[in-house]
Structure 1
Amino acid sequence: MNKRRLSALIGLLLLGGCSLAPDYQPPTHTVSQFYLNQATPGTQPGGESPLAWWHQFQDPELDALVLAAQRQNISLKIASQRIQQAQAYQESIASFKVPTLSLGGGYTDARLSENGALTGPAVSPLALPGALGGGTAQLMDRDPTAAFVGVNASWELDLFGRIDSLSQAAAIRTEQAQIMRKGLITAMTADVINNYLQYRGAEERSRIAADTVRSQQATLAMVESLQRSGYGSDLDLANARAALASTRASLPLLATARSVHLNRMALLLGEPVAKTETRFSQRPLPAMTALIPTGLPASLLTRRPDVASAERAIAAQNQELGAAIAARYPKVFLTGSPGLVAGDLDDLFRSGSTSWMLGAGFSWDLFDGGRGEARVKAQQAGLEEAALSYQHTVNAAFNEVETALIAYGNSQQYRDALHQASQQAELALGKARSLYRAGLVDQLRVLDAERQQNSLRDAEVVARLGTATNVVLLHKALGGDWQAPQPTEG
């Protein structure tokens, strides 16, 4: 076959290239126009959550903590490395679509044995008959040398799109890795905010407990004084001491809670606990006052990283199925080796030293015991699994939003009711103390009023903490971009 015919064959094969991957259509999901719990207090339909929505807590220490975590978190750094790995793998697969060229060269110097069974007669001097002029001659040089330099080229023609499908699948997996990193940012940031809220809640409860201890100590001193004067009873004294001991018992538990959440924040920031502790001053538990936009249900499919990742998994599996189908068809290869060859290094770059070889071939597994068909079936099952996983992820996403809306609405009602109860308990305590000083009620009534008021103050903090936590859960369920804005360089 001459060069012209070989070139025509190559062009024909290239024009015949195609993809055997099934046509991919992104999955669709029918959604309602509004959420079932759309009318939840503290929310508004439509719109989207603002970037860095946690700024609405109006707590600069929380803002700085989230920014530091997104810069320093080790899990995020690992996710970034996985993206680079996926990109490198995609580039590696895509490289098979172009020819592979390698440059080679060398020089050889050998000596052949005159006593060798095969080479001996060829390199030994032979006596020539007189008719040929006499003398001696050798059929081969006993000390042959050779020099060569050239290029080797090989290329698999992707006639049925196997390599292209693998390349596209790898590119989609790279997109999936990037989406998964966004999801990790969401989960990690939510974890940081929640631990910060729990830390502040434990701090505030500790302050309430400390105030209660001081109040109960003063009450105990008054009861002891009355008891010594003969106006108090042993029962009043025992009740006062029991109340004080009970409140003191809660202090180490609250200190443990603060330490646990501080350590978790240090782990999320990837830094020593001592450094994390220096980030905080004494501040109250933050509260969200702004309305939370819930967006439209249809936008949830694009805002949530887990849904987007599940869709990309279907697309990648579809391409991998195409590669498995194409692998059952013939593979066509082209090879070429142009170069320079000479028996002497000095002659290597002279005219006449050029050499070349071109070749074309194919391979086709006509029988493999059903291995190729099994691979196709496995990829088809994987595609169906990815589609079902997507459906499950979508259903779980809508369920999570509805649950978060209910929890947020109910937590606000619970918080408001406890706030009113706490106010009334404080009024009751003031009246009980006044009546006790006037001798109209016994100390037991005062202690009971103190216990009720302290319990409700603590419960109110827990309720406020629950509402703030549900704010985080609702924003997490709604998805969106959780990347903290980077401060501009001054």
Structure 2
Amino acid sequence: MRSIKALSAVTLSLALAACDMAPKYVRPDLPVPVESPQGPAYAETGEGVAAIPAETAWRDFFTDPRMVRVIETALTNNRDLRIAVANVAQARAQYRVQRADLFPSVNASGTATYSEQPLVQFGQTQRLNNDVYQAQVGISAWEIDLFGRVRNLSKAALEQFFATDENRKAAQTSLVAETANAWLVMAADQERLRIARELEGAFGKTLTLTKARFERGIASELEVRQAQTSYDQARSDIAEATTLVAQDQNALNLLAGTTVPASDLPDSLTPEGATLENLPANITSDVLLQRPDIASAEHQLRAANANIGAARAAFFPNISLTAAFGSISQGLSNLFGSGSDFWSVAPSANLPIFDFGRNQGNLRYARATYDAMVATYEKSVQTGFREVADALARRGTMERQLEAQTSLRDSARVAYTLSEARFRAGVDSFLTTLDSQRSLYTAEQSLVATRLTREANMVELYRAMGGGLK
């Protein structure tokens, strides 16, 4: 018993003091500029304290309570997110399985052997029964990890688990952004439907007036046909917008994983917006490291680095240990009696001499995988930088575009009112009124699209900077 304890202590000490064949991990330099781009498309840093997206809870970022409730529903019921959570559980279990190889598996076993043999003595033959009972506790073929092969495989499994968990976080941030955008698209389509209905009424009145003037011989048939085209266009747009609203609701239900209550559906785009405004106008590249997709790529890189260590260790001897301690006797009643104990220790070593290039091929594969993971990590950083830069470029010009589009809509509305009054007074031809109607309709639709772009840009900037986890 003392020998077993001593041997176990020695082997555990050797395992803990074993060398690590994996290269020292060094994070690659970020292949992007330190600061965010500058230029006429980018806004200057404003006054006041900007909210840090990665530290701003999505419940605080989105200000419309209906949208918040829909996002909460999606985070609870969305099937893609459930798959991501299940993947994390799988990776955690795989890590536990791999980590268990670091420690010896202790097993208890018992055997009974019954045999009968002939015994010739003094010319007489007798039958001799030989029953043997045995009970033991031991370890079987436990690899003493002197060169870090098992530990590096365990590290790789741990990093894979971390990467999978970061993928789950990335799925959550994407789901928050997708749900918010789907809600905003439905709000914009509701707004377009309202505008189409309002203009259908206005165009209908114009068409009625033009027909009356035609019957009195004041207007021509051409003017009637022109008024009819505007009215029919509005009717067609109403049908199209009605379809889009229904499809938007279907998309929102899919993201939410259930039917969204009517009370949580949007009816229009609110002028004050549905998100916070005080996001930063520029960033440093270090902020990208907070994004879960980039963190996942780095964990994959660390796993590939650990796999190189495991592949290197395969070139060195594999030392394993089998040991047992127990009791043996020829009678069941004496199995645990005095003097029946036994122990055995069987260390073994296996040194690869010629494997036809298998270990060398595994090492080359591990190194090539590492190189691929470096490129994947750098591409993830570059993609993240581009997404943030695009969102900042859009944000930098958004207010000017929205102001211009609002002014255009207001001017088109005044022009339509004046042209209609002049047409009714007989001062201008119907063609002027028709052009004003179409210009107003186009300006109204463009303003809705611009407001939607502004809201979607804030959501994308929040996501691209790592928001949506809290």
TM-score (norm 1): 0.87
**Residues in 2 aligned to 1:372 and 1:289: alpha-carbon distance in whole angstroms:** 56
Q: CA RMSD in A?
A: 2.6
CA contact (8 A) 1:96 1:163 kept: yes
Q: Indicate the SS of the match to 1:383.
A: helix
Whether contact under 8 Å (2:388, 2:461) holds in the other structure is yes
Partner residue of 1:61?
66
**Greater CA drift, 334-343 or 457-466:** 334-343
Give the Cα–Cα distance (whole angstroms) in 2 for the partners of residues 42 and 475 of structure 1: 18
Distance 1:109 1:48, change over 3 A: same
2:462 to 445, 456, 475: 475
Verify: 1:267 aligned to 2:247, yes or no. no
Structure 1 residues 320-329 or 464-473, which shifts more?
Answer: 464-473
Which deviates further from its counterpart, 431-440 or 363-372?
431-440
> Equivalents in 1 of 2:8, 2:292: separation in Å?
49
Asked if 2 retains the 8 angstrom alpha-carbon contact of 1:48 and 1:294, the reply is: no
Matched, 1:77 2:62: no
CA-to-partner distance for each residue in 1:330-375, whole Å, 9 max, x for gaps? 1111111211222222222222322221111111221100100110
| Structure 1 runs of 4+ with >6 Å offset | none
Q: Which residue of 2 aligns with 1:27?
A: 28
Specify the alignment match of 1:132 in structure 2: none
1:30 deviates by 6.8
Partner of 1:311: 298
In structure 2, C-alpha distance between the alignment counterparts of 1:54 and 1:127, rounded to whole Å? 94
- Structure 1 position 371 matched with structure 2 position 358: yes
Find the counterpart in structure 1 of residue 415 from structure 2: 428
For residue 149 of structure 1, the aligned residue among 107, 117, 135 is 135
2:122 to 113, 119, 128: 128
Change (3 A) 1:89 1:462: same
- Sort the Cα spacing of 1:47 and 1:276 in 2 relative to 1 into closer, same or farther, 3 A: closer
Q: 1:86 aligns with which of 85, 91, 96?
A: 91
Q: Distance in 1 between matches of 2:257 and 2:355?
A: 52
Distance 1:43 1:256 in 2: 42
CA distance in 1 between partners of 2:424 and 2:59 (Å): 48
Structure 2 CA distance for partners of 1:156 and 1:289, relative to 1, 3 Å: closer
Instruction: Say yes or no: does 1:413 pair with 2:400.
Output: yes
Q: Quickly say closer, same or farther: Cα 1:7–1:243, change in 2 above 3 A.
A: closer
Residue 186 of structure 1 and its aligned partner are, at CA, apart by 1.4
Q: Determine helix, strand or coil for the equivalent of 1:27.
A: coil
SS of 1:335 mapped into structure 2? strand
Match of 1:104 in 2: 109
Please name the residue that 2:52 is paired with: 48
Within 2, Cα distance between the matches of 1:190 and 1:388?
Answer: 27
- Counterpart of 2:160 in structure 1 is 173
Tell me by how many angstroms 1:11 deviates. 7.2
Match of 1:248 in 2: 235
Q: Which amino acid aligns with 1:35?
A: S
Q: Does 1 or 2 have the higher relative contact order (CA < 8 Å, sep 6+)?
A: 2
Amino acid at match of 1:128: F
- Equivalent residue letter for 1:355: F
Distance 1:101 1:137 in 2: 45
- Give the TM-score taking structure 2 as reference length: 0.90
| Consecutive unaligned residues in structure 2, runs of 5 or more | none
Distance 1:6 1:244, change over 3 A: closer
For 1:278 and 1:329, the matched residues in 2 are separated by 67
SS of the residue aligned with 1:247? Answer: helix
Q: Secondary structure at the match of 2:147?
A: coil
CA distance in 2, matches of 1:31, 1:473: 20
1:64-120 deviation line (CA, Å, top 9, x unaligned): 11122112221111111111111111111111111111111133445x4xxxxxxxx
**One-letter amino acid of the structure 2 residue matched with residue 149 of structure 1:** A
Say if 1:31 and 1:297, in contact at 8 Å, map to a contact too: no
Q: Is the 8 A contact 1:314 1:386 kept in 2?
A: yes
1:152, 1:335 within 8 Å by CA — same for their partners in 2? Answer: yes
Q: Distance in 2 between matches of 1:404 and 1:395?
A: 14
2:386 counterpart SS class: helix
Change (3 A) 1:36 1:196: same
Structure 1, unpaired ranges of 5+? 113-121, 130-135, 485-490
1:357 is paired with a residue whose SS is strand
* Cα contact 2:133–2:328 (8 A) shared by 1: yes
**Greater Cα offset, 166-175 or 231-240:** 231-240
How many angstroms apart in 1 are the aligned matches of 2:29 and 2:89? 31
Letter in 2 for 1:425: A
1:312–1:253 CA distance, 2 compared to 1 (3 A) = same
Whether 1:280 aligns to 2:265 is: yes
Partner SS, residue 132 of structure 2: strand
Other structure's SS at 1:106 match: strand
Aligned 1:152-231 pairs, distance under 5 A: 152-154=138-140, 155-231=142-218
Deviating more after overlay: 101-110 vs 445-454: 101-110
| 1:292 match: secondary structure | coil
C-alpha spacing 1:42/1:431, structure 2 compared with 1 (3 Å)? farther
Separation in structure 1 between the aligned mates of residue 146 and residue 63 of structure 2, nearest angstrom: 60
Separation in 1 of the partners of 2:329 and 2:460?
76
Kindly name which structure, 1 or 2, has the bigger radius of gyration based on alpha carbons: 1
1:152 partner SS: strand
Write the distance in 2 (CA, Å) between the matches of 1:476 and 1:281: 22
Compared CA separation, residues 260 and 331, structure 1 to 2 (3 A): same
Range moving further from structure 2, 205-214 or 244-253: 244-253
Q: How many residues align?
A: 461
Further displaced range: 91-100 or 21-30: 21-30
For 1:79, the aligned partner's letter is A
Equivalents in 1 of 2:438, 2:56: separation in Å? 44
Amino acid at match of 1:434: A
User: Secondary structure in 2 aligned to 1:352?
Assistant: coil
8 Å contact kept, 2:34–2:285: yes
State yes or no: 1:235 paired with 2:222: yes
Letter in 1 for 2:234: T
Q: Does structure 2 conserve the Cα–Cα contact (< 8 Å) formed by 1:42 and 1:292?
A: no
